[in-house]
Structure 1
Amino acid sequence: MSQTIIKWMCTLLLLVVSSHLYAKNTINSVRVWPSPDSTRVVFDLTDKPEFSYFMLKNPLRLVVDLEDTNKIKYLPSIPKKHQIVSKLRYSKAKNKHGVRLVFELTGAVKPVIFALAPTGPYKNRLVVDLYDKEQAQPNTSNGNSTVKKRELKQQRDIVIAIDAGHGGEDPGSIGPSGTYEKTITLQIAKRLERMIDGERGMISRMVRSGDYFVKLNTRTSRARAKKADFFVSIHADAFTSPQPSGASVWVLSLRRANSETAKWIEDKEKHSELLGGAADVIKDTASEKYLAQALLDMSMDHSMKTGFNVAEEMVQELKKVAKLHKKEPQAASLGVLKSPDIPSILVETGFISNPREEKLLKSANHQERLAKAIFTAIKSYYLKNPPDDSLFASLKSKYPTKHKVRPGESLSLLASRYGVSIGKLKQVNKLKSNTLFIGQELDIPQS
């Protein structure tokens, strides 16, 4: 009798072991990230996935097979407002050790499916990106087109692209109490959007308007598609210790990072790409070629100069509402700043890794003040330097340009910044020498 029991126990043990050998992988969770022109579905797994997929018609479906994988008990339901996927369900697998997933689709899609290695808070993942074929171009309206038209004859709006950092699969930095950077940046971006759209002669274009990921190398291309005059990327800083605090403004450096903090931020950007799954195997070589050629063009010099001038304005405005981590614009080689034809800056609104600043960044009042500072700096620059065909250019005579001299500024620097001659500056301000005094207010003639 005892021998029979032992045999049954051995058989049962072999069955359990063999089942684990065959189904070595497990789906731990499934997350769905909808965006205006695509949907991302992420499967969190215990091990690297082995997968294959194919499309079916009548009705349209995407079928994904996972080898040697156990099911998760419940698959997420798809919200009714969802644009691309109507349902995610199981179907009969190719064999008893695998899993077959079926995506029921509402229209034609281009699927991009790839595995991601563990990084940050995530383990192994299978990412299913579904791009809506009917939307060949990124959604450029985000509701703004119903508020304002892109052009007012020859008096067009100045277009400001607002990039809320991170999003979707990539939470960005995480504060001590669990606050996600992606949440803070979108909240500030939406406040800035409202202010810009409320200003006659300006209009905003959001790079992302919800909680979804946008690859770093497409953020500026989206801004270009929206005919942006200027690009501002909003972030919340972090460091390995909780002590650092304060806001900062970043511009593009074509050289190596000029500080340890800059190196840290550059590493964060690379990490962000891994989190969001931008490690696509196919690189956009045409875009890389375009960028390499354009970097040699004068347009990059103009963009960097404009970006730096706005950054200087931004630092002056931010110090009125927040502590500054750096009192001057900082330089780093960041992907979102590398557009050769669109002046760009990155604003770190504070250190989310600092408990006090994390609490501030969550405050609606502080977010409003930060957005106001960013808005005021951009508006101030374009009132003084409007594009020739803009409404601001036609209104420039109504806004007398004043400049208060800051430390380190000279007549030659101001003449270069505002595009006027030193002689004209001296004549208008009745200066007998080239000497300036800190706090001195100058009238800036029209160039």
Structure 2
Amino acid sequence: MFRKLARNSLLAALMLMTVAAAAGQVSVDGARIWNGPDHTRFVVDTEAPVEHKVFALKDPHRLVIDLIDARLDGGLPDPAADDRVVAGLRSGIRAGDDLRLVLDLKQPARAKSFNLEPNGTYGHRLVIDLMPKVEAGRSAPLTAASINRGSGHPSVHGVRPATRDLVIAVDAGHGGEDPGAIGAHGTREKDVTLAISRKLARRVDAHPGLRAVLVRDGDYYIRLRERIEIARKHKADLFVSIHADAFKDRRVRGSSVFTLSAGGATSEAARWLAERENRADLIGGVDLKKRDDILATVLLEMSQNATLELSDVAADKVLAKLRGLGEVHQQRIQKAGFAVLKSPDIPSMLVETAFISNPSEEQRLRDKAYQDRLAQAILDGIVEYFAEYPPPGTRFAKARSAITASARRHRIESGDTLSEIAQSYGVKLGSLRHLNRLDGDRIRAGQVLIIPES
């Protein structure tokens, strides 16, 4: 009897020691794989921050991730068949208490790893970004820019058209590990923005003289600075970032259009929104706050006043078209410090299509017909902007030159007023202002006005 009790006590103690050891380990709840055009992101969900080691092996190519004092409690995903980097994924136990994850690779890859704090959607995460490594004798891997829609443009083949197309960079906000705002019925901002962006890109491509570049054309994350670089690589003439707004008060509704404010936001709502959107870059492992001083200096040195002015003009055109579509949240262009708008050489705007936090607007954002109308309204604003401010060497510039070459002209004399000139030629005052790019009715003697057709 005594031996039996002793044996049972020993077994119970061993079981308690095993449970205690397991309790001290970090639980790995599962993992996810996001496939981008130029990298693959592997995300491990953990109950707490985990110490880890990452190293590569050859023959065959593998990436080994050792999670110190961790155990796997969830499942592991299967890589997509078209994943350019990861071929397979397996796990095992190392040194008794450590969890080893092995990614079988299709080609050599560089890896960058970092831990992320919990947010409103996910808990603690270990993120590993894998980028194809260029080997000697091999061509460079394709990037998000090089495989995008614009790669078939005639200039790629060495034939420069007489009049070039205007390039519109269409940026679908968020993506991949970053879902953006989420509506009451589970609608994710990243899905809505991608759907609207694709519709807008198709309409841009169908319009003579315009060509679209989709910055993001799938469910993957692109760092905010990289979005600007993609637009710049394609020599974009305009950058349009598509988002869906959110606010703590679910009654708030309507569209908004933002341009960059170098000095900060113009309203409390704009400041709140800018902070929320800019925090998305933390998901990419980059804390923008650490770069604010450098960025501010660069912006000042590059003197982007002309770009900001054109951004405001383009944004005002788009807002006017959205106003015709339905309710807008703000009647005027809003300004905020969105990181994605900080290209010093490309006119840029951010369109908040509607409030996904408003139940009725969330339903509209899910509706394909409403998405079509949003895309068309944005395109109409873009076309009107370029018709008025066409860059040289484009079809829009050629069309405007033809109009002005054959148009009537009026030299202003002392005492003339704009309304009297419009009346004498039988044209609308607004049309006269628009054709001559006049903000008001102020004119000067000696100035020559182009008279629109009656």
> Given the two structures, how large is their TM-score scaled by the length of structure 2?
0.85
Quote how far apart the aligned CAs of 1:108 are: 2.0
Aligned residue in 2 for 1:63? 64
Aligned residue in 1 for 2:242? 234
Aligned residue in 2 for 1:339? 343
Quote how far apart the aligned CAs of 1:295 are: 3.0
1:103 aligns with 2:109: no
Aligned pairs for 1:394-413 within 5 A: 394-397=398-401, 405=430
Aligned residue in 2 for 1:440? none
Distance 1:250 1:424 in 2: 37
Quote how far apart the aligned CAs of 1:144 are: 3.5
Distance 1:98 1:72 in 2: 13
Identical-pair percentage: 35
Aligned residue in 2 for 1:167? 175
Q: How many residues were matched structurally?
A: 421
Quote how far apart the aligned CAs of 1:404 are: 6.5
Q: Is 1:62–1:102's contact at 8 Å kept on the other side of the alignment? A: yes
In structure 2, relative to structure 1, the CA distance for the partners of 1:290 and 1:333 (3 Å cut) is closer
In structure 2, relative to structure 1, the CA distance for the partners of 1:43 and 1:424 (3 Å cut) is farther
Q: Is 1:295–1:340's contact at 8 Å kept on the other side of the alignment? A: no
In structure 2, relative to structure 1, the CA distance for the partners of 1:243 and 1:415 (3 Å cut) is same
Aligned pairs for 1:109-188 within 5 A: 109-133=109-133, 134-135=140-141, 137-146=143-152, 149=155, 152-188=160-196
Structure 1 or 2, whichever has the larger Rg, is 2
Quote how far apart the aligned CAs of 1:26 are: 1.1
CA RMSD of aligned residues (A): 3.0
The one-letter amino acid paired with 1:387 is P
1:192 aligns with 2:200: yes
Aligned residue in 1 for 2:371? 367
Q: Is 1:148–1:203's contact at 8 Å kept on the other side of the alignment? A: no
Gaps of 5+ in 1: 430-442
Distance 1:403 1:17 in 2: 83
Distance 2:147 2:234 in 1: 8
Distance 2:153 2:236 in 1: 17
1:265 aligns with 2:273: yes
The one-letter amino acid paired with 2:123 is K
In structure 2, relative to structure 1, the CA distance for the partners of 1:148 and 1:193 (3 Å cut) is farther
Quote how far apart the aligned CAs of 1:19 are: 2.2
In structure 2, relative to structure 1, the CA distance for the partners of 1:292 and 1:184 (3 Å cut) is same
Q: Is 1:168–1:276's contact at 8 Å kept on the other side of the alignment? A: no
> Given the two structures, how large is their TM-score scaled by the length of structure 1?
0.86
Distance 1:221 1:201 in 2: 23
The one-letter amino acid paired with 1:176 is A
Aligned pairs for 1:231-310 within 5 A: 231-279=239-287, 292-298=297-303, 300-310=304-314
Distance 1:276 1:390 in 2: 37
Distance 1:280 1:245 in 2: 29
Aligned residue in 2 for 1:389? 393
Q: Deviations over 1:267-296 (max 9, x none)?
A: 212331233443499x8x8x9858733433
Give the 3-state SS of the residue equivalent to 1:115 in structure 2. strand
In structure 2, relative to structure 1, the CA distance for the partners of 1:379 and 1:127 (3 Å cut) is same
In structure 2, relative to structure 1, the CA distance for the partners of 1:143 and 1:115 (3 Å cut) is same
Quote how far apart the aligned CAs of 1:112 are: 0.6
Give the 3-state SS of the residue equivalent to 2:218 in structure 1. coil
